[in-house]
């Protein structure tokens, strides 16, 4: 678990001041509790690497540099591989020897042996680069679902890369430019983003499930994996057995750690499944009691209001699970002033305005858990893979003709500064990205009408909404030197479930019906039957008051940078109405009035901090 950065030029020697530049770039990486730094410097490549070790803390060999008769190979790596033993066994059979027990050594020697095909052997969350000094060639790769980030830019024949966007801007001459596409991403798509893009002109992300090669011929990017549609031939019993096996295997692989580990438990179906398997594993392996953690907010039970999107609170169900498991539970309580005061930190962690207090609450949660643990397993991604969101079932969402978690298109357009609104049509951009993504979906002739329809919404959810939540989890955790693992996001599980017919996936007409059915024999019935409830947010009215005061203070300054980008009159209307004049959630199920105001505060913080040039 690391952060890295660097730059390479395969055509000419880098300048003498490059080391100073590299050190400046490295200093911008999230520095919370990283163990150490590594540097590699040559005529054509400057690489920097920060490490936070979660496997074998005393074994630091081969974390970065591997010498072999193939030449010198230098690795910068961020993530965790869950099938290192299998890959190591293959390499040993091919006469490789190992000096350490790290997955970094497996990746590096795997690349020496398999070259770019190494990505087809990896199961994990990863982003890495490998510099080949013999061939003057850089290899970059990112995991199947983009759990770990990797950004890059090409400037004057130099490829600049980093695990955080802010780091790239420390390279001299790379500018922060917000053009019409960036504004459309920020205000039309955001806090989601189009895969491969950022809001900044000429700053890109390596897409999930892609690798790239940079050499004298330029930069070539390839896709190594995607969800392929195939006819599902297993019956219900076979399907249940296969899903159970894949899920159990994924969880147990991700429980391997030589630093303290826990699970996040909300009392929902997904986190309860993770915790049940993890607790059983601890008991089987005679490990100490599993620690579980939940988050809540001061006075939340008193202020909770039931809604279609948040039908119940978590505490009753958390207690029910704790009574049924051999675990040690901890409840983290956060107050509303903390949520508001950490909006800035969560924006910095993302390098973007994000999901407001939905982000800052997770950042604070990880910060508190980090005092006792280093790694947590969570139930995220189950809803995307098994069909758990309301928009899989609601006709208005299915027929919206747009991303169903972001239907407030007219309101977003109105929020644009009037001068920009004349030049930028957010709906046109959103429609383009929506249809572009739908064109990638493989529909089979044998698919039922419903399965074909649900393939489309599933594909959008996996590639857009899930990516946003994965970004959130990784950035908020890594900001605290903490690691979040997502066993439901195992590509083998996703591949299999992708082809299960919707009628079976939504068994008994329920969201995640198949998953519920599989777990009926080992989870309490109340957990099985519990209606989906999203990540808990604060219902304390003092939070609305706090963010309203923050936004009011911003808007009292006519020179605040938000006035150059957004519609000042409309923001004042939003303030006067306590957010109700913006009639639909900004994003997903939770970003309503208070979260919208907090998001607008983040936009101003972002503009003040990053100071992008607006070029239309």
Catalytic residues: 2
**HEC letters along 348-370:** HHHCCCCCCHHHHHHHHHHHHHC
Long-range own/partner contacts, residues 242-248 (CB < 8 A, 24 or more apart): 242/496, 243/493, 243/496, 243/497, 243/514, 243/515, 243/518, 244/518, 246/490, 246/492, 246/493, 246/496, 247/273, 247/277, 247/487, 247/488, 247/490, 247/493, 248/277
Q: What is the dihedral of CA 500, 503, 506, 507, to 10 degrees?
A: -110
Tell which residue, 593, 180, 187, has the closest CA to residue 416.
187
Tell me the C-alpha distance between 17 and 605, whole Å: 32
Tell me the C-alpha distance between 495 and 511, whole Å: 19
Cα-atom radius of gyration of the chain, to the nearest Å? 24
CA distances from 239 to 232, 296, 524 (A): 9, 36, 22
> HSE of 182 in the Cβ direction (CA atoms, 13 Å)?
19
The token duo for 273 is: 């499944």
Q: Cβ distance 489 to 147 under 8 Å?
A: yes
Tell me the C-alpha distance between 207 and 440, whole Å: 15
Tell me whether strands 71-81 and 124-132 are parallel, antiparallel or unpaired: antiparallel
What kind and span of H or E run contains 100?
none
Tell me the C-alpha distance between 553 and 121, whole Å: 53
Q: Coil, helix or strand for 485?
A: strand
Beta carbons within 10 angstroms of residue 65's beta carbon: 16
Q: Cβ distance 559 to 164 under 8 Å?
A: no
Q: Cβ distance 75 to 126 under 8 Å?
A: no
Tell which residue, 476, 470, 465, has the closest CA to residue 590.
465
For residues 587-597, one letter each, b for 16 or more C-beta atoms within 10 angstroms of the residue's C-beta and e for the rest, the string is bbbbbbbbbbb
Tell which residue, 378, 302, 315, 368, has the closest CA to residue 338.
368
At a CB cut-off of 8 Å and minimum separation 6, what does 83 contact?
121, 122, 123, 124, 253
């Amino acid at each position: 678990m690391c952060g890295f950065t660097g730059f390479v030029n395969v055509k000419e020697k880098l300048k003498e001041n490059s080391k100073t530049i590299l050190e400046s770039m490295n200093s911008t990486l999230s520095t919370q509790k990283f163990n150490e730094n590594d540097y590699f410097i040559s005529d054509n490549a400057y690489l920097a690497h920060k490490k936070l070790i979660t496997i074998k803390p005393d074994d630091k060999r081969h974390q970065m540099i591997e010498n072999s008769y193939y030449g010198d190979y230098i690795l910068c790596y961020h993530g965790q591989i869950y099938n290192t033993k299998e890959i190591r066994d293959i390499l040993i059979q091919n006469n490789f020897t190992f000096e350490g027990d790290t997955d970094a050594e497996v990746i590096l020697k795997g690349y020496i042996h398999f070259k770019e095909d190494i990505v087809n052997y990896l199961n994990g969350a990863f982003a890495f680069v490998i510099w080949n000094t013999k061939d003057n060639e850089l290899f970059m790769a990112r995991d199947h679902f983009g759990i770990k980030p990797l950004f890059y830019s090409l400037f004057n024949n130099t490829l600049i890369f980093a695990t955080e966007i802010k780091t790239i801007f420390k390279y001299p001459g790379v500018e922060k430019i917000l053009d019409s596409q960036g504004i459309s991403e920020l205000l039309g798509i955001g806090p989601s983003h189009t895969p491969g893009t950022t809001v900044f002109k000429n700053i890109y992300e390596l897409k999930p499930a892609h690798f790239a090669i940079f050499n004298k011929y330029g930069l070539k990017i390839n896709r190594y994996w995607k969800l392929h549609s195939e006819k599902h031939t297993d019956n219900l019993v076979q399907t249940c057995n296969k899903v159970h096996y894949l899920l159990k295997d994924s969880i147990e692989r991700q429980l391997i750690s030589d630093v303290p580990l826990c699970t996040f438990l909300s009392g929902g179906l997904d986190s309860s499944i993770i915790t049940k398997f993890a607790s059983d594993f601890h008991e089987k392996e005679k490990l100490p009691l599993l620690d579980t953690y939940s988050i809540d907010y001061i006075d939340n039970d008193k202020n909770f209001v039931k809604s279609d999107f948040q039908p119940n609170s978590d505490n009753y169900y958390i207690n029910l699970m704790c009574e049924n498991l051999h675990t040690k539970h901890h409840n983290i309580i956060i107050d509303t002033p903390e949520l508001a005061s950490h909006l800035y930190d969560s924006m910095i962690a993302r390098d973007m305005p994000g999901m407001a207090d939905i982000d800052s609450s997770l950042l604070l949660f990880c910060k508190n858990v980090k005092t006792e643990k280093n790694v947590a397993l969570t139930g995220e991604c189950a809803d995307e893979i098994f069909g758990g969101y309301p928009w899989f079932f609601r006709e208005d969402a299915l027929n919206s003709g747009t991303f169903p978690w972001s239907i407030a298109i007219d309101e977003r357009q109105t929020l644009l500064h009037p001068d920009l609104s004349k030049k930028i049509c957010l709906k046109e951009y959103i429609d383009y990205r929506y249809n572009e993504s739908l064109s990638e979906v493989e529909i089979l002739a044998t698919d039922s009408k419903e399965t074909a329809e649900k393939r489309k919404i599933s594909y959008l959810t996996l590639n857009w909404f899930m990516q946003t939540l994965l970004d959130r989890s990784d950035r908020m955790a890594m900001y605290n030197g903490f690691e979040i693992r997502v066993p439901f996001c195992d590509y083998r599980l996703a591949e299999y479930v992708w082809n299960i017919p919707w009628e079976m996936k939504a068994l008994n007409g329920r969201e995640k019906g198949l998953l519920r059915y599989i777990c009926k024999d080992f989870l309490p019935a109340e957990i099985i039957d519990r209606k989906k409830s999203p990540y808990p947010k604060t219902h304390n009215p003092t939070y609305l008051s706090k963010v309203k005061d923050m936004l009011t203070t911003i808007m009292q300054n006519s020179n605040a940078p938000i006035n150059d980008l957004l519609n000042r009159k409309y923001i004042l209307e939003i303030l006067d109405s306590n957010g109700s004049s913006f009639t639909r959630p900004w994003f997903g199920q939770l970003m309503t009035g208070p979260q919208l105001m907090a998001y607008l505060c983040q936009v101003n913080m972002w503009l003040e901090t990053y100071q992008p040039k607006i070029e239309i």
